[in-house]
Structure formats: C-alpha cells, structure tokens
Amino acid sequence: MRIIIEPDYEAISRKAAQIVADRIRKKPDIVLGLATGSTPLGMYQELIRMHKEESLDFSKVVTFNLDEYWGLPSSHPQSYHYFMWNNLFSHVNITSERVHIPSGTVNDVEAYCSWYEDKIKKAGGIDLQILGIGRDGHIGFNEPGSSLGSRTRMKTLTPETVEDNARFFENKDEVPKFAITMGGGSIMEAKECLLLASGKNKAETVQRCIEGPICAECTSSILQLHPKVIAILDEEASQKLRRKEYYKYVEKMALKFKKS
C-alpha cells in the first residue's frame, strides 16, 4: 500500500484529483468506482475545475457507485443519486447512460444486486475505485462484522452509522437503516483503489486499516491484501500511524528516483 501524507484536506483533494485525472487521460474509457460523503467532495470539486479549465474529458468514462440508501428515491436530496449529480455529474460531460448508482427502490433486491455485479463485469471491471473510510473502519456500507468476501447486497446499518448520518436529515427517525452496497469481495476486484481520509477523528481508524490486523471488525483492513492501493491522508488522519515517518521517507525517495 502506498501512503501519501498531505498537509490538509485541500491538499489531499488536489492530489486525489490529479491521480484520477491522470488515469482518465491515460485511459479515456476508464471505469471508475465512486464514493459519496464529505471526504471525496473536494476531489470532485477539483475534477470539475479540471474539466472546465483544463479540458478533462469525461465523455467516455463509465462510473459505478459503491452504495445507496435503501428506501430513498433518486430524487431525494439525501440520496446518493442526488449527491453525485449535484456534486459531479451535472458539471462534467458525462452522459446518464454511463452512470450507474445502486437503486434504493427496487423490489427484488437479491436479483438487482446480481444484475449490478454483472453490469460491472460486462464493463470490464472497475479500473480505479475511490474509497472513503467510516469512523468504525467500514468501506462502502460494509459494517463491522461484514464478510470480507461479500458481494453487492442489502446491509443493515449500525446505530453508529445512523448517528453519523443523522446530521444530513431534519429528523433522526428519517435516516435510512438499510443500504445497498458493494461488498468487500466486489471492491477487491478493482484493479486499483484510492483511499481518502481526513481529520483527527479518523486517525485511529486509519491506523487500524493500514497497520492493524486484517479482520471483519475493520472491513477496510482488507485493502492490505490488495496489490495496488494508494491511501491519501492529511496530517491529522495520519497522526497515529506507527510508521508515519517511513511512509514519508518512501515518498521522498520515490520522488528522487523519478528525477534521477
């Protein structure tokens, strides 16, 4: 796992956007796995700027989102459909046919989840999967205790996740208790993963993810087994890493090697 430590949130957003833009320019029809939430928001804003000011082309990009709340229609202001169109898709030149976000209103959930997995396979698999990390170490909505080999499915959200998401709703009772999410096994099939984390409240979780044991209690720890992961952290999120100085040293030496 490559660990990049940046000074602050703005810096990790710029760095992440640079990596995504680089992959798009190298492969215009790239298949991107996308995440929602506050952490990737700055990255999306920078990608929009790159599209408008640097002609970053999304016309051939295909996207698959990690998850969606169960029970919310795509028009709901807190749905991840609404989030993605409001914060990225409507500002770049991507067509709706190339955008895939799990539905929160399907009746046959099991059949739908199988269809979603098949759709990813038919697209050639995900080239670059963007990931955030939850306070309890989850990726997607793979809550603690989830099978690390799980596939796209319905997941019951923990009270902690419901509590974390309550700030986005007028009433805590309105917060969905279920979500459709890609599983750990689904995420691990991406060719490359880009993990973003910011803030001191994520420091302990980040340490467990990167340096702790691989276990279902911290589902993001499965990324230790992936052959190609880049984790971009700000100083606060990285403050509990035991080998923090080594990670910085590795990046410094890589830069020297590149210049030589």
Q: Are 156 and 71 in contact (CB under 8 A)?
A: no
Strand, helix or coil for residue 117: helix
Residues forming the active site: 67, 136, 138, 143
- In the numeric block, the tokens 């009772």 are attached to 173
Kindly state the helix (H) or strand (E) to which residue 125 belongs, with its residue range: none
Per-residue burial over 171-209, b = 16 or more CB atoms within 10 Å of its CB, e = otherwise: eeeebbeebbbbbbbbbbbbbbbbbbbbeeebbebbbbb
Sign, CA dihedral 101-194-146-115, equals positive
CA-based nearest residue to 188, from 236, 234, 151: 151
Distances (CA, A) of 196 to 4, 8, 250: 10, 12, 19
Q: Which two tokens stand for residue 254?
A: 């890589």
Which residues, at least 6 apart from 166, have a Cβ–Cβ distance to it below 8 Å? Answer: 172, 175
